Structure 1
Amino acid sequence: MTIAEPRTDPSAAETPPRPTRGRFRPGGTVREDRYALVGAAAASLALVWILFTRLLPFSGALGFAVCWYAAFLVLYALVVTHEHGRLAAVDRLVSVLVHSAGALSVTVIAAILGFTVLRGAQAFAHSNFLTQTMSDTGALDPLTSGGVLHAVVGSLIQLGIGVAIAVPLGIATALFLVEVGGRLTRPVRLIVDTMSALPSVLAGLFVLAAFILTFGFQKSGLAAALAIAIMMVPIVTRASEVVLRLVPGGLREAAYALGAGQWQVVWRVVLPTARSGLATGVVLAMARGVGETAPVLLTAGFARGMNADPFSGNMTNLPLYIYTYVKFPQPDMVSRAFGAALVLALVVLVLFTVARLLGGAAPGQMTRRARRRLAKADRAAAKTPTAPSGDLPLTSDKETSA
């Protein structure tokens, strides 16, 4: 008896084995990926250099950079697709685009700050720049005369008044939208969204038409602060609303279960929990308000000397100082303007740092002060003597006889 041999497909035997690709891990990089990245960048640079200088009638640094980046993306996608497949190519391209966007943002900010520091260092080199005003300084005077003191004082006064108006109003509006609600929720949110999209010059025109031209008030720091507050209110409201909605509902329910009223829940639970987020929203509004030029240009007026009274007289702030003196043809005046721009950047940095310190930890986390207070309470509780369970407290003989 013979056993039949199994039939084999000749076409299957002749099929070559499929090539194995490298291991792919989404979101991660290996050494081969770095080699492919560097090789694609070098090859695309050489290719675009040849095209720009030899073959095509193109010129310009910006066009060269754009063409080099596009060629780099194409070559890098081809290399990764050949090594790891299409899925890995898409993952690597998205990663390259995200990192490129971050690097471009940092580069632009660094270039702006570096240019401002470079142009404003000449004014900062003289100590009088931060201690004098421009009341006795002309356009032809050297940098050893005049300064930016009155503009710094004006900015701080106007920003302080704007914050005092906008922050309570914005947080109260956000609390109404989140905690109260009702029929007025949609109209209020629509007004806030509309105010967020309005150009800043309209705030200055509103204050100019409503207060200065209609009621006869003069241009002053208070009028400029009102315009700044109008620009800050929608920012504080939107940021505060988002932060208040992130407060866990379980905290509110626990407070209501303990017998707290709505105002007590808001004051003792919701606002402390969202304190860091609220501080961040206030910082965003302050950064927007301290750098506004158009509303201040229409409402504050320009003064060369010191004026610390926001209710009367023109009051200059830093953006108005920069806008006025950067248009002068004298190099020293332009240097003063860039020096004021550097002071404005430092003021924003200081305000941001102070707000972060006041804001404390993130929602749901304990601050350092709270952790120290809790540790102190634990140590005090550990030192307090306690009576053994089941035994009567120790008393003296007199207390026993009594």
Structure 2
Amino acid sequence: MEFNQTLYKRRQRANAIGLTLSMGAMALGLTVLLWILYVLFSNGLAALDWNMFTQSTPAPGSDGGGLANAIVGSLMMVGFSVLVSTPVGILAGIYLTEYGDQSKTAELTRFVTDIMLSAPSIVLGLFVYAIVVAQSGHFSGWAGSLALSLIAVPVVVRTTENMLRLVPGSLREAAFALGAPRWKVSTMVTLRAAKSGVMTGLLLAVARISGETAPLLFTALNNQFFSADMNKPMANLPVVIFQFAMSPYDNWIRLAWGGALLITLAVLVLNIVARVFFRDRSPK
């Protein structure tokens, strides 16, 4: 074949233009990201002190204060959400993969899961407000946990299904050949083989719901005082940050920066744990 110098140079130019645009886009994205992190850390680190973890949110116009009630409230609501979304999401993912793969129920479940994944979180918050808060007549931590669970469940379902589909079919066939029932193959063989991917999806779901604000505005609302009663309005970091960041008080704005940094560090730690401790360690 005769070498076409003109075609070769045109392809070189196209490749150079593509690489330049790609590197430029990456540099722009990294610059904006580093700028955001710099502003967050520079303001957030200045707000971190012992009082932030030991004192409750201050009243308007008062000095001092902390985020102890908001930290505890967020941990409780996220914790209960994990207790709900983990078994529901994993069992639903097992059903979609191992039992009802081609059934009408599985198709409907996947369709609803996709809708919930793409639905704005404020819509889920309004839904919980209509069926829980409006019926009970008061905001509560339970309503906030339910709203967060509705956000986390589809993430866990989709991740579990995708990870289980990566398990080789020969592994299931070998277990069936040994006489193992389907429920034991699903839980003791395929789920165990995909546990690293499932745990990664669960941690990423927790990282997503940790910073959700809109659903909690309609469900848990806020509480200036320390309270561990899930049947009452409960303080939480996202709503406190939302309210304090727009306030005219300097100490409230400082606490908002500190709360934003705490959430960012928590999400960062969860992502590191997901990538380091649950990565695939099988020999290549």
TM-score under structure 2 normalisation?
0.90
Match of 2:52 in 1: 129
Corresponding position: 1:365 with 2:282:
yes
Query: In structure 1, the residue corresponding to 2:218 is in which secondary structure?
Result: helix
Match of 2:259 in 1: 340
**Within 2, Cα distance between the matches of 1:245 and 1:105?**
33
**Within 2, Cα distance between the matches of 1:155 and 1:85?**
59
Measured after TM superposition, the shift of residue 252 of structure 1 is 1.0
Measured after TM superposition, the shift of residue 119 of structure 1 is 2.1
Measured after TM superposition, the shift of residue 88 of structure 1 is 1.7
Corresponding position: 1:309 with 2:229:
yes
Corresponding position: 1:231 with 2:148:
no
**Within 1, Cα distance between the matches of 2:26 and 2:60?**
41
**Within 2, Cα distance between the matches of 1:98 and 1:217?**
53
Q: Alignment partner for residue 76 of structure 2, among 142, 150, 157? A: 157
Measured after TM superposition, the shift of residue 156 of structure 1 is 0.9
**Within 2, Cα distance between the matches of 1:284 and 1:105?**
22
Q: Alignment partner for residue 261 of structure 1, among 181, 186, 208? A: 181
Measured after TM superposition, the shift of residue 357 of structure 1 is 5.5
Change (3 A) 1:108 1:280: farther
User: Conserved in 2, the CA contact under 8 Å of 1:279 and 1:358?
Assistant: no
Corresponding position: 1:318 with 2:242:
no
User: Conserved in 1, the CA contact under 8 Å of 2:213 and 2:239?
Assistant: yes
**Within 1, Cα distance between the matches of 2:181 and 2:80?**
32
**Within 2, Cα distance between the matches of 1:297 and 1:99?**
40
Amino acid at match of 1:203: L
Change (3 A) 1:20 1:227: closer
Amino acid at match of 2:221: G
**Within 2, Cα distance between the matches of 1:243 and 1:229?**
21
Measured after TM superposition, the shift of residue 280 of structure 1 is 1.8
User: Conserved in 2, the CA contact under 8 Å of 1:132 and 1:148?
Assistant: yes
Corresponding position: 1:219 with 2:139:
yes
Change (3 A) 1:257 1:105: farther
Corresponding position: 1:141 with 2:62:
yes
Query: In structure 1, the residue corresponding to 2:224 is in which secondary structure?
Result: coil
**Within 2, Cα distance between the matches of 1:183 and 1:189?**
10
**Within 2, Cα distance between the matches of 1:122 and 1:141?**
19
Query: In structure 2, the residue corresponding to 1:184 is in which secondary structure?
Result: helix
**Within 1, Cα distance between the matches of 2:24 and 2:201?**
28
Measured after TM superposition, the shift of residue 20 of structure 1 is 10
CA RMSD in angstroms, aligned pairs only: 2.2
User: Conserved in 2, the CA contact under 8 Å of 1:276 and 1:356?
Assistant: no
Query: In structure 2, the residue corresponding to 1:302 is in which secondary structure?
Result: coil
Measured after TM superposition, the shift of residue 217 of structure 1 is 5.6
Query: In structure 1, the residue corresponding to 2:104 is in which secondary structure?
Result: coil
Measured after TM superposition, the shift of residue 159 of structure 1 is 0.6
Amino acid at match of 1:260: A
Corresponding position: 1:280 with 2:200:
yes
Change (3 A) 1:332 1:240: same
Measured after TM superposition, the shift of residue 251 of structure 1 is 1.0
Q: Alignment partner for residue 127 of structure 2, among 206, 209, 220? A: 206
Match of 2:213 in 1: 293
Amino acid at match of 2:117: S
Match of 2:27 in 1: 103
Corresponding position: 1:250 with 2:167:
no
Q: Which runs of 5+ in 2 are unaligned?
A: none
**Within 2, Cα distance between the matches of 1:225 and 1:284?**
17
Q: Which has the larger radius of gyration?
A: 1
**Within 1, Cα distance between the matches of 2:31 and 2:229?**
41
- Which protein has greater RCO, CA pairs closer than 8 Å, 6+ apart? 2
Residue by residue over 1:72-126, the C-alpha shift from the partner in whole angstroms, topping out at 9 and shown as x without a partner, is xxxxxxxxx99x60112222322333333333333222221211112223311x3
Measured after TM superposition, the shift of residue 354 of structure 1 is 3.8
**Within 2, Cα distance between the matches of 1:103 and 1:319?**
30
Change (3 A) 1:250 1:96: farther
User: Conserved in 2, the CA contact under 8 Å of 1:174 and 1:241?
Assistant: yes
**Within 1, Cα distance between the matches of 2:144 and 2:224?**
17
Match of 1:386 in 2: none
Measured after TM superposition, the shift of residue 355 of structure 1 is 4.0
User: Conserved in 2, the CA contact under 8 Å of 1:155 and 1:317?
Assistant: yes
Amino acid at match of 2:267: V
Q: Alignment partner for residue 328 of structure 1, among 240, 247, 266? A: 247
> What is the aligned-residue identity percentage?
38
Match of 2:17 in 1: 93
